[in-house]
Structure 1
């Protein structure tokens, strides 16, 4: 009898949540008000982080900017204030350093207050073939792209749990859903960041902290400068960072748990689970995934060659 009762209850809940989500596909959720919320964005000095900072500032949020590049971060601060941001704070922080993350986090709590929306956006990419990636760059990628998420969550989540109010945003990637040749270190870190935040989502629900939301973002390659030279045939040109930033902010305001950009990538993610590896590889070649990093690597080699030449001249 207990099994029948549990099954019936589970089916009833599944039906309710299916209808609930279906309604919101037709009628968008009412967007929450973020005025007065304290939004912290890592990697805010340029690109996607800068664009999100500008949008949140224009919505009346208190915006906290973290970046290792102090000059770029101050420029983001200036631009955010120009767009109407009244409370914008910039901090230099190396997100590959656990002690520094905790130190700057304590500083933010004292000087600004408890962060209520945390956006882990800082990231780096090497973009070399697996055997060509220096060991130290593998470690650096994991420090910035994954482990920094652990430390920022540990720093700011306790206050969110105490208040049962907050929002965690993980900027992962389509490369965190589908392994990409030439991006082994990047894909690895983005898979890990996705898994961490998804596991944390369910953990928060298990401890009845349902008012703490999570949003995991998986965009295709963007024109932020990080992926200059990357092309994917038939799927999408490089996404505009302003477009992706607005999509992310909307996802936070509507409390979406997952955001894949563009939406048609959902089809590939699902198909990947159904096809054999050989069939998946045929599709990957069709979309040019096997060669999408070639031009990127050529540009990186040229850049490294220029750097090496400058060093020789200096010596």
Structure 2
């Protein structure tokens, strides 16, 4: 994109964001009460997943934490239990559909109905497209978007029966604005944003106004995947 045009687009987006923030500051939306809700967070072993789990713990939610990394998952659970939350952990590889479905059945049978689902698990392969291995591309899509679909299919039926629930899609700013050397990642995050928008519209069409949706699109975060991230 032409640098001057890129600057104009950026300034327009920035002004819109500030205007929106000002309106929300003056007319704040009532915070959602999450006390006692059963919250499932994928990718909870570190980074944004761990921070999200801590926040729900502070708000006295019951937690179900998933991650493929057992040690980090245990550390997150200990932190949340220290905040007074009831925590259940499951070592789950979110790139494997059947593992997601089987663990979801265990959660529903042994713990209860998940009412808030935070699809946070994600992976990144930072390289130019031709240097990115095929298995890395596949893994990126399996975790960053397909896992969102499988977990939602697993827990959405009960939410729909109760017309109560919340599905959080953790995407990325890379789901709106592309960056070089991250073709697979950006593509998967564009898909995640599209999933959120399509799901939101579908739930509205079905009259399920008690099921809320949220899409998070943070910029780069130093979570261990990319050290000291920066961009222009």
Post-superposition Cα deviations, 1:202-253, rounded to whole Å, max 9, x if no partner, equal: 0000010011111000001012122213212xxxxxxxxxxxxxxxxxxxxx
Scaled by the length of structure 1, the TM-score of the pair is 0.66
CA distance in 1, matches of 2:215, 2:190: 11
Scaled by the length of structure 2, the TM-score of the pair is 0.88
1:117 matched to 2:121? The reply is: no
Unaligned runs of 5+ in 1: 1-20, 233-286, 288-315
Query: Match of 1:296?
Result: none
Unaligned runs of 5+ in 2: 1-20
Query: Match of 1:242?
Result: none
1:35 matched to 2:31? The reply is: no
Post-superposition Cα deviations, 1:28-55, rounded to whole Å, max 9, x if no partner, equal: 1121211110100000011111111111
Structure whose CA Rg is larger: 1
SS where residue 113 of structure 1 aligns? Answer: coil
Q: Which runs of 4+ in 1 moved over 6 A?
A: none
CA distance in 2, matches of 1:132, 1:110: 44
1:210 matched to 2:181? The reply is: no
CA distance in 2, matches of 1:193, 1:211: 22
C-alpha contact 2:69 2:91 (8 A) present in aligned 1: yes
Shift of 1:27: 2.0
CA distance in 1, matches of 2:75, 2:108: 23
- Give RMSD over aligned pairs: 1.4
Alignment of 1:121-140 (within 5 A): 121-140=120-139
Query: Match of 2:179?
Result: 180
Query: Match of 1:64?
Result: 64
Query: Match of 2:11?
Result: none
C-alpha contact 2:164 2:211 (8 A) present in aligned 1: yes
Query: Match of 1:92?
Result: 91
Alignment of 1:259-274 (within 5 A): none
Aligned length: 212
Higher helix share: 1
1:196 matched to 2:190? The reply is: no
CA distance in 1, matches of 2:178, 2:27: 34
Shift of 1:65: 0.2
Alignment of 1:38-49 (within 5 A): 38-49=38-49
Query: Match of 1:169?
Result: 168
SS where residue 180 of structure 2 aligns? Answer: coil
Query: Match of 1:157?
Result: 156
C-alpha contact 2:95 2:147 (8 A) present in aligned 1: yes
Shift of 1:22: 9.1
CA distance in 2, matches of 1:225, 1:191: 22
